[in-house]
Amino acid sequence: MSKIENAKTYLGKELENIFFRPIFADEGARELGIKVMYNMPAPTRLHFWHRPEDVLRKYTSAGWNGSASAERYTKTVELQRVKAEMSYSADEYFSLVYDSIAQSALTQLDDLTGTELEAAETALFRNAILESVRATMWLGKTTREGVLNTFDGFLHRIISDINSRDIPAEVYESVTTATAVTRLKSVWDNASEELRNMRAEGQLVFFVTTDVRDAYEESLEAADNEAAYHLRQTGPGSLMFKGIPVVDMKLNSYLPRCYDLGVSFILLTDRRNLALALNTGDFPGSEVRMWYNPDLMENRQRAIFMAGCDYLLPELVSIGYAK
**Rg (alpha carbons) of the chain, rounded to whole number:** 24
Tally Cβ neighbours within 10 Å of residue 186: 17
- Contact partners, residue 252, CB within 8 Å, separation at least 6: 209, 210
Output the tens digit of pLDDT for each of the chain's 323 residues. 444 556 778 888 888 877 888 788 766 667 788 888 888 777 788 776 666 667 777 777 677 766 666 666 778 888 999 999 988 776 676 666 666 666 554 444 444 345 666 677 778 888 899 999 999 999 999 999 989 999 999 999 999 998 777 788 999 988 999 999 999 999 999 999 999 999 999 999 999 999 999 999 888 877 665 555 465 656 566 889 999 999 999 999 999 999 899 999 999 999 989 999 998 887 788 988 888 888 888 888 899 999 999 998 888 999 999 98
pTM recorded for the entire structure: 0.83
- Contact partners, residue 146, CB within 8 Å, separation at least 6: 257
Distance spanning both ends of the chain, measured CA to CA = 50
- Which of 54, 85, 48, 86 shows the shortest CA–CA distance to 67? 54
